[in-house]
Structure 1
Amino acid sequence: MANTAARSAAVEKKIDEILSKMTIEEKVGQMQQLAANMDAAKLDEYRKMGTIGSFLHVLGNDTQKYIEPAEKSRLGIKPIFGIDAIHGHALLKGATVFPSQLAAACTFDEQLVEKMGEVTAKEVAADGLDWVFSPVLCMGRDLRWGRIDETFGEDTEVVARLGAAIIKGYQKDGLVAACAKHYIAYGEATGGRDAYDSQVTERRVREVLLKPFKAAADAEVMSVMTAYGSIDGKPFTTSRKWLTDILKDELGFNGLIVTDWDNYKALVHGQRVCEDLCEACKDGILAGNDMCMYTDVFYNAAIEAVKNGEIPMSAIDDSVRRILRMKARLGLLDGMPARKLPPRSVIGCAEHAAINYEVAKESAVLLKNNGVLPLGDVKSVAVIGLNADDVGAQYGDWTYYSHPNPNPQATPKDSVYTLLKGVREVFGDARVTYAKGCVIEDGDCGADSDKAMDEAVACAKAADVAVVVIGDRLKYNGEGKDVAQPILRGRQIELLKRVKAVNHKVVAVLVNGKPLVLSEAEGYCDAIVETFNGGDMCGLAAARLIKGEENFGGKLPISFPCGVGSGPDYYNQYDYWHGGRYADVKHENPYPFGFGLSYSRFEYSAPVLSAGKAKRDGAVRVSVTVKNASDVDGKETVQLYFRDRVCKMLTPVRKLLDFKKVFIGAGESKTVTFDVAVADLGYYDENCVYTVDAGAFDFYVSGDGINFGHAELIVE
């Protein structure tokens, strides 16, 4: 502790020294971030100044042309290079592309997700970059939102724990700075409309949305990104309450806050809450934003606002101090310990591919199996579907296919496994045939989609098993691609129906950015496997899983929709509803949060409490014995939920309190225990004050989100 305090004192002394020498222009320059794909002439003008604080989407050796002017500037402060490494350093072709956050959340494995962050940090740092704009800590609860794939799902406990885990991985050894985003309620936008107003209350934010950012602050995340949207009509970019009073002061976040892309300009031309950029800069800086992403006119407008007395120098100094503090932690200030950067050879290396394979394997979820899986050794396999051999669709958003500029015709790297490639390798002794099958969007199969459909049916008819890859495409998945209907588009249902008519073994594999309505499709499938956007190794992992060389262990971090228009379908809703269901769709969700099948069969004992009563400042232990009643070793995610049976405020039907993923050998039993602090069973009252009531609490233990064991606790 003494050494840490001494280092902190040395850093603050260094920052004081730098601040005392800086002009207004140099200070505001540090608060400006510019993008490599902006207007080339403007970018070059700013680059030559040598005083811009950060650059975005610069890759590899290109960093040097930005570093040299900075080193030659009066104070020699190096810029920090940011990158959207959402699931690996995926904007760089050749780097490791991991499964999306949503896919990775299916692992329910904090250690594996931390490794995912650690690998990404090594590859980003080896490429000469410093700052990853990840993780996304928004909730995936409205499936119309295009960015569902970037979330860790719908539950605050899962998002908080996996978010903190990947932050620890990113910032291990000080290689890169992580950025928790988007603060806050971004995913709650009305109608799933990206960057729109969020119709939530402060109580809902505190009950559901704030916990992941508190976990991020506790994990010492170096930065937080401001959300585009608004709450109750107030843009987050100008909200001092949320940025300063709550995030910086209440949560104790001492890193820097960066706006999202062009937020300042949006205040003027989109949200229309500021008359001009000077007012936008004033409102944004005084609210608590420390750095402006992309809006290039911020530099001159902020300087003008300072000189006019609209922005006090103390506010500028606080922001610059936070920026310099992060640079010091990354070894970018003279006199600070430099990072030991990995060699470029780590980018896409075999060791990282092995970790990536584990993430892909553990993230696959078996949704349905009527006994057709595992396939074992079959003589012939028909692989059908556009997404069976489309790397761009398999990757999803935020890779070199989509950013910083759309490149749908990008050539994939050789090491990526589509499902087709995986099946050909894993089922090496079988005859493997392939057909595209059907249209998902116009032009997918050329002019004659009927011919493509007929070819797929003929392919399926001649095979022992048909593996049909269905899902969505980048057109319907990612930022700015909100959809009104989360469905299987084009002729995919027809394809499944026709394939099922000629083959009695149909295995559907989903490659998609979000849960889709499967109510009609599932009737034509003997097995369904969810991979979401599974990254480089998805095809190999999925092929080994369906053959039976590996066992499924993934669970859903997000609920599938009961039908079009039935959402939101997240599990932890209030339960008072006249009728209790929509009259036109099946109410029981077959694929809810926490669900996932296995080749193992797990049996649960009734949960047992260490005591039937506890004080409000006390604790209780919940124990459950889980038996693997099969001859297949497996992993099971044991989930503990609770409910305050009678509460002065509405509370959900149940709320995830804890989870543990355990390995249980064939025929073995394990007792899983959860230590619960009674203080964690509380709620926020109408004044947003956290409280715990006396009375009865129900505990529920489950392995599938459908079947629950029950125990009761009385809090005195």
Structure 2
Amino acid sequence: MASDRLPPYRDATQPVEVRVRDLLSRMTLEEKAAQMAQIERRVASPDTLTGLPVGSVLSAGGSGPAERASARQWADMVDRMQRWALASRLGIPILYGIDAVHGHNNIYGATIFPHNVGLGATRDSDLARRIGEATALEVRATGIHWTFAPCVAVCRDVRWGRCYECFSEDTEIVRTMTSIVSGLQGPPPQDHFPGHPYLAGRSVLLRMRKNVIACAKHFVGDGGTHKGINEGNTICTYNELEEIHMKPYLDCLAQGVSTIMASYTSWNGSPLHSNYHLITDVLKGKLGFKGFVVSDWEGIDRLCHPQGSNYRYCVLASINAGIDMIMVPFNYQKFLEDLIFLVESGRISTSRIDDAVERILRVKFVSGLFEHPFSDSSLLDVIGCEEHRLLAREAVRKSVVLLKNGKDKKKPLLPLDKKARRILVAGSHADDIGNQCGGWSITWHGDSGRITIGTTILEAIREATANETEVIYEQSPSEATFSNQDYSYAVVVIGEEPYAEFLGDRTTLDIPFGGADVVSLVASRVPTVLVLISGRPLYLEPSLLEKIDALVAAWLPGTEAGGIADVLFGDHDFEGVLPVTWFKSVDQLPMNVGHPAYDPLFPLGYGLKMNLEKTK
């Protein structure tokens, strides 16, 4: 038989662990070290992938083959790098990773789903799973194998710039939404051991054709930092860490999540990137995780101050703590030099290196990467397809939360009249795809404007209203807007500018761009619904709340704003409820359910309905 002539690691009929051990036994120290490096695509070359060979390549936010590159261009780029890797001495394929955190959000024209805070408002685990499936297909269409998602942090302070990446402040809600892991990776096969990506035989050889490797992040406690400071310090007991922040990882492990990313943060002053107790004793020991742990972007550099000043120590501390793959991403030569030196000098054991590489190879074998290393051109048409856009629209309408409807005991404003003669649409976010999508959209921090293909809120309103309705749009209305004009009602759409990570850390959470002034002007003249686009609750002045007739929290809905029009005009009722507590004043923060002084403007779980059956 032909398979008899294959080395065991090449033989797909062999159990995964046999293949892992066989390949590991053939590798030099240099090849093992290279497997532990993940480099950015801009430094990938035949030398780095054939000569070394490096274990993984990633695209940073906004780093692609060309501006507005097509799915085909992405797939060609990844396949080219894969051919370089397969030409190495042992032919070990690379894992290509990307931050597809709310859809395949780096790719122009891809479907961008609501950010996690919006999905948390749905409480819909099946919806999360289906979004994972759709995201996986679009990622695989570009030849990419691995997404750094989901974020399963529990946000305990909305001043944190990554609040929108979290499903909720409540641990149990986050646990419910971890079903996205099964959507991304596919359900664990029957011979899967709970919590372990360990499989025998050939049961997964087709998985990577339509699924991707998921990555639960950021281990652990990143949502609990003091004052919500990004990359800050989470101060709590081990029991609190376990009960609040660690439980979602148990659900991810039960679904066979293959990779876990370490957090930039510290726990009681100890950086997670060098925390042996949490990574090795707890995650790999107590919880039995058999996949691999990857660092965050230049995460090990932060172990020294100034950053990376004693890089050899950074390598030593992180690898000995239990991190298996290092996201270098540019300084890979220095990383390999120091890692090899530390092994040869006995400061990092050979067994630690073998453990790390075994874990990396196990994930590559389990995912079917050796059998299916290249892109599948039959998937190219799924990028931004109608089915996925309809799913995103469903997610939007289920995530939107109605917080107010009517004032002074008058008739509720919502649902809006589709046949009104003239309506006003206003605000900085009414006709802006970039603002709708937020951070991690096309680029790392996102941007305003027509950054990709989709439907803005203004476009959705125009589509929803009858032909006889005149829709007047004024981004920044003035007194002249109301001269000799009679509006039935106004929809004002305002909110935050796009941001990511520390760029979003805020000590105050006022509505930017003078949004409150716009709302006040419009609401003093015409019945007004305020649609707030944001990654978290924002401060709402009591006088502003009194002036508006309706208030809708739309979070960061992504590209399919038709879902907002669906609920504004009553085609569907509101289903979303708050995934986080809405504060009265930033002086109350942090404030979560269970705090002794819990006195919110709107509590966790709050959300109104329009009772459409009664209004029809």
What is the aligned partner in structure 2 of residue 332 from structure 1?
369
Q: Give the conservation status (yes or no) of the 8 Å contact 1:383–1:468.
A: yes
Unaligned segments of structure 1, at least 5 residues: 1-5, 438-451, 581-586, 602-629, 634-716
2:54 pairs with one of 52, 55, 59: 52
Give the Cα separation in 1 of the matches to 2:12 and 2:240.
39
Partner of 1:622: none
Runs of 4+ in 1 over 6 A off after TM superposition: 6-9, 336-341
Amino acid at match of 1:290: D
Query: In the alignment, what sits opposite 2:472?
Result: 433
Q: Deviations over 1:307-348 (max 9, x none)?
A: 1111111101111011011111222225x8999785111111
- Which residue does 1:591 correspond to in 2? 602
SS at match of 1:269: coil
Residue 307 of structure 1: which of 319, 344, 347 is its match?
A: 344
Deviation at 1:515, TM superposition (A): 0.8
| CA–CA separation in structure 2 for the residues paired with 1:106 and 1:157 | 13
Q: What SS does structure 1 have at the residue aligned with 2:588?
A: coil
The answer on 1:394 being equivalent to 2:436 is yes
- Counterpart CA distance in 2 for 1:136 and 1:266 is 21
Instruction: Say whether 1:552 aligns with 2:574.
Output: yes
Residues 36-87 of structure 1: per-residue CA shift (max 9 Å, x gap): 25xx5x8675245351100111543211231122111100001000010010
Equivalent residues in 2 for 1:146-545, closer than 5 Å: 146-163=161-178, 165-172=179-186, 173-174=207-208, 175-270=211-306, 276-295=310-329, 296=332, 297-333=334-370, 343-370=379-406, 371-376=412-417, 377-400=419-442, 402-403=443-444, 408=447, 411-414=450-453, 416-429=454-467, 430-437=469-476, 453-456=478-481, 462-475=486-499, 478-503=501-526, 505-520=527-542, 521-538=544-561, 540-545=562-567
| Residue 537 of structure 1: how far off its partner (Å) | 1.0
Deviations along 1:335-384, one digit per CA (max 9) or x if unpaired, are x8999785111111111111111111111111110111111232211000
Q: Which moved more, 1:336-345 or 1:202-211?
A: 336-345
Query: 2:31 and 2:295 mapped to 1: Cα distance?
Result: 19
Q: Is the 2:141–2:375 contact (alpha carbons within 8 Å) kept by the matching residues of 1?
A: no
Contact 1:331 1:339 survives alignment (8 Å): no
On the 8 A contact 1:364/1:554 being kept in 2, the answer is yes
Query: Where do 1:37-186 residues align within 5 Å?
Result: 37=42, 40=43, 45-49=47-51, 51-57=53-59, 59-163=74-178, 165-172=179-186, 173-174=207-208, 175-186=211-222
Counterpart for residue 7 of structure 2: none
Work out the CA distance in 1 between the residues paired with 2:285 and 2:480: 63
Q: Which amino acid aligns with 1:308?
A: S
Q: Which moved more, 1:168-177 or 1:358-367?
A: 168-177
Tell me which moved more, 50-59 or 113-122: 50-59
- Distance in 2, matches of 1:17 and 1:458, equals 80
2:413 maps to amino acid: V
Contact kept in structure 2, 1:149 and 1:478, CA below 8 Å: no
CA contact (8 A) 1:50 1:71 kept: no
Larger RCO (alpha carbons 8 Å, 6+ apart): 2
Shift of 1:408: 3.2
Q: Secondary structure at the match of 1:121?
A: helix
**Separation in 2, partners of 1:122, 1:359:** 17
Q: Does 2:586 align with 1:564?
A: yes
**Whole-Å separation in 2 of the counterparts to 1:114 and 1:353:** 15
What is the alpha-carbon distance in structure 2 between the residues aligned to residue 535 and residue 407 of structure 1?
11
Q: Corresponding residue for 1:30?
A: 35
In 2: Cα distance, 1:81 partner to 1:310 partner:
30
Counterpart-to-counterpart distance in 2, 1:492 and 1:631: 34
8 Å Cα contact 1:457-1:498 kept in structure 2: no
Deviation at 1:294, TM superposition (A): 2.4
SS of match in other structure, 1:352 = helix
Give secondary structure in 2 for the equivalent of 1:343: helix
CA deviation after TM superposition for structure 1 residue 506, in Å: 0.5
Amino acid at match of 2:233: D
Preserved contact between residue 405 and residue 414 of structure 2 (Cα < 8 Å) = yes
Aligned-partner residue type, residue 464 of structure 1: S
Residues 632, 497 of structure 1: CA spacing in aligned structure 2 closer, same or farther, 3 A cutoff? closer
Distance in 2 between residues matched to 1:119 and 1:568, nearest whole Å: 35
- Is contact 2:50-2:86 (8 Å) kept? no
User: In 2, distance between residues paired with 1:479 and 1:120?
Assistant: 26
Paired residue type of 2:182: K
Kept in 2, the 8 Å contact 1:330–1:338? The answer is no
Mark the CA change 1:560 to 1:222 in structure 2 (over 3 Å): closer, same or farther: same
Distance in 1, matches of 2:183 and 2:314, equals: 35
Q: What is the rounded CA distance, in whole Å, between the counterparts of 1:411 and 1:47 in structure 2?
A: 36
C-alpha separation between the residues in 2 aligned to 1:304 and 1:13?
29
How far apart in 1 are the matches of 2:84 and 2:512? 51
Give the secondary-structure state (helix, strand or coil) at the position aligned to 1:145. Answer: coil
TM-score w.r.t. structure 2 length?
0.86
- Deviation of the 1:237 alpha carbon: 0.7
Root-mean-square deviation (CA), in Å?
2.3
Flag the 1:136–1:291 CA change in 2: closer, same or farther, 3 A: same
Q: CA deviation at 1:146?
A: 0.5
Give the whole-Å Cα distance in 2 for the aligned partners of 1:12 and 1:567.
Answer: 49
What percent identity do the matched residue pairs reach? 32
Aligned length: 560
5+ residue gaps, structure 2, are 1-10, 65-73, 187-206, 407-411
Query: Which region of structure 1 is more displaced relative to structure 2, 149-158 or 136-145?
Result: 136-145
Q: 1:16 aligns with which of 3, 6, 21?
A: 21
When residues 379 and 632 of structure 1 are mapped into structure 2, their CA distance, relative to the original with a 3 A threshold, is closer
Give deviations 1:674-703, integer Å, cap 9, x for gaps. Answer: xxxxxxxxxxxxxxxxxxxxxxxxxxxxxx
SS of residue in 2 equivalent to 1:531: strand
